[in-house]
Amino acid sequence: MKKVYIETYGCQMNVADSEVVASVMETAGYALTTDIKEADAILINTCSVRDNAEQRVLGRLTDIRSQKREKKLIVGVIGCMAERNKEDLFKAGADLVAGPASYLDMPNLIAQAEMGSKAINVELSTSETYAKIIPTRIGMGAISGFVSIMRGCNNFCTYCIVPYTRGRERSRRFQDVLDECRSLINAGYQEITLLGQNVNAYGKDLDENKDFADLLEAVAKLGIPRLRFTTSHPWDFSSKMIDVIAKYDNIMKFIHLPVQSGNDEVLKLMGRRYNREQYLSLVKEMREKIPGLSLSTDIIVGFPNESEEQFQDTVSLVDEVKYEAAFTFIYSPRKGTPAARIEDNVTYETKSKRFQELVKHLEKHIEEHSRQMVGQTYPVLVDGVSKTDAGMLSGYTEENKLVHFKGDETLIGKIIKVKILESHTYSLIGEIIDE
């Protein structure tokens, strides 16, 4: 049987998409392999959200192509870069290029590539949700699984390429999502993460009269031990959603709530549809209704013409919210987006200095949160052997903090109690507490 190796870059949605592709490839006669050396086909699932992500893939492609192989190898590039970069991708040695809505066409594309022709399908779709596909789970064993509940995005934040690469928002049917969650639970999964570019918008395009709060509640009731979701746009995060999160113990008290900037003018130019005050009052409502809530965020530094004062508004917002986790990015112009047309008077050096300053503030708060956890005991879902120390296991607390501890590998996939002994900025060290 021929073998396919899939390499995934970018967001969790891409991880979920790779599982759809793995499933479709099986129907094309390919078995999945985790050893790139034995692959007959290599598929690279790509991200376009920033330039460095795209450059890495182009480098990787050249790299793969430069290695001599004994057998014929098909190299495919799939995902967000497909449409935008098709010429460069073929030039760098791709045999096959497929966009995020063309994965059902993979058997046909692979057949073309096997015959020696260049294969391409980068059509966008307004309806494709891969409703009939049962994803082939690639990640760590049957512990934690992604379930994509919708595809695409309608928000068109002015800096963002996603609505162009992934197309319009469309939701999967309520029962289909529940069925997929049920099958994960039956297979012994301990954790499900519901995925969408903006999960808050779930159901708006359906005729089922169900919103994301309804879906979250229905999945929580199925009895999965841990339920998470991402990503949520602050402008349409409803009070009903907050109430559901507060009500169910198995919905993790962890919300990813990208703020992008703390300055009203910049937020407006970004097309974010909320201002600083509205964001902060949403955070207040969440923290009041959900005790022990952890918040994480995304922030873009150096939006075109961002002034020092505007940047300082972001710093002060970070100091006010005191996030438990954060992803920070230097703005990367994406051709085709409105923001990329703005002439920018801020140097990269200034942006980079501001970026460092912001990270210092974020890390101070994250370290403080981690320090406060020392001495306390938390339930941890053991996900495997630590990536940094083979003698240790690793896992995540409910608030999504990474913990390392000594223990037997038979604990992998179980939720156990761990007492925190030591804190670092991005991880904790603990010991297992016997019940």
The residue ranges that bind ligand 5AD (CB under 6 A) are 49-50, 159-160, 258, 260, 298, 300, 329, 331-332, 334
Give the CA distances from residue 286 to residues 256, 259, 415, in Å, rounded to whole numbers and listed in that order: 12, 15, 26
Nearer to ligand SF4, 22 or 259 (CB): 259
Nearer to ligand SF4, 165 or 190 (CB): 165
With CB atoms as reference, the residue minimizing the distance to ligand 5AD is 298
Interaction of residue 153 with ligand SF4, rule CB under 6 A: yes
Q: Which member of 33, 112, 148, 155 binds ligand SF4 (CB under 6 A)?
A: 155
What's the closest the beta carbon of residue 61 comes to ligand 5AD, in angstroms? Answer: 22
Interaction of residue 151 with ligand SF4, rule CB under 6 A: no
Residue 44 partner contact from ligand 5AD, ligand SF4, none using kind-dependent CB cut-offs of 5 to 8 Å? none
For residue 114, give every residue at least 6 positions away whose Cβ sits within 8 Å of its Cβ, in sequence order, or none: 74
Helix/strand/coil percentages in the chain, nearest 5: 40, 25, 40
d(CA 395, CA 401): 8
Give the CA distances from residue 113 to residues 61, 95, 108, 119, 165, in Å, rounded to whole numbers and listed in that order: 16, 6, 9, 6, 23
Interaction of residue 198 with ligand SF4, rule CB under 6 A: yes
What's the closest the beta carbon of residue 54 comes to ligand SF4, in angstroms? Answer: 16
Among 320, 273, 329, 322, which residue's Cα sits nearest to residue 300? Answer: 329
Residue 163 partner contact from ligand SF4, ligand 5AD, none using kind-dependent CB cut-offs of 5 to 8 Å? ligand SF4
What's the closest the beta carbon of residue 235 comes to ligand SF4, in angstroms? Answer: 9
Nearer to ligand SF4, 160 or 224 (CB): 160
Distance from the first to the final alpha carbon of the chain: 47
Among 157, 160, 158, 169, which residue's Cα sits nearest to residue 124? Answer: 169
Residue 329 partner contact from ligand 5AD, ligand SF4, none using kind-dependent CB cut-offs of 5 to 8 Å? ligand 5AD
Nearer to ligand 5AD, 332 or 427 (CB): 332
270 and 260 in contact (C-beta within 8 Å)?
Answer: yes
The string of DSSP codes covering 88-126 is HHHHTT-SEEE-TT-GGGHHHHHHHHHTT--EEE----S
Nearer to ligand 5AD, 168 or 173 (CB): 168
What's the closest the beta carbon of residue 217 comes to ligand SF4, in angstroms? Answer: 23
Residue 338 partner contact from ligand SF4, ligand 5AD, none using kind-dependent CB cut-offs of 5 to 8 Å? none
2-35 as b/e, with b when 16 or more CB fall inside 10 Å? bbbbbebbbbebbbbbbbbbbbbbeebebebbee
Interaction of residue 379 with ligand SF4, rule CB under 6 A: no
Q: Which residue has the tokens 């999967």?
A: 172
Taking residue 317's Cβ as centre, other Cβ atoms within 10 Å add up to: 21
Nearer to ligand SF4, 24 or 162 (CB): 162
What's the closest the beta carbon of residue 355 comes to ligand SF4, in angstroms? Answer: 18
315 and 357 in contact (C-beta within 8 Å)?
Answer: yes
Taking residue 343's Cβ as centre, other Cβ atoms within 10 Å add up to: 6
Please report the sign of the dihedral spanned by the C-alpha atoms of residue 347, residue 353, residue 357, residue 358: positive
Q: Which residue has the tokens 């260049």?
A: 118
Interaction of residue 157 with ligand SF4, rule CB under 6 A: yes
Q: Please report, as a single letter, which amino acid is at residue 310.
A: Q
Nearer to ligand SF4, 334 or 404 (CB): 334
Q: Which member of 151, 210, 233, 256 binds ligand SF4 (CB under 6 A)?
A: 233
Rg (CA), the chain: 22
Residue 233 partner contact from ligand 5AD, ligand SF4, none using kind-dependent CB cut-offs of 5 to 8 Å? ligand SF4
What is the total count of residues that contact ligand SF4 (CB under 6 A)? 10
Binding region for ligand SF4 (CB under 6 A) out of 155-163, 313-321, 369-377, 382-390: 155-163
Residue 50 partner contact from ligand 5AD, ligand SF4, none using kind-dependent CB cut-offs of 5 to 8 Å? ligand 5AD
Residue 331 partner contact from ligand 5AD, ligand SF4, none using kind-dependent CB cut-offs of 5 to 8 Å? ligand 5AD
Q: Sort 87 into a burial class: Cβ within 10 Å, 0-12 / 13-18 / 19+.
A: exposed
Q: Which positions lie near ligand SF4, rule CB under 6 A?
A: 153, 155-157, 160, 162-163, 197-198, 233
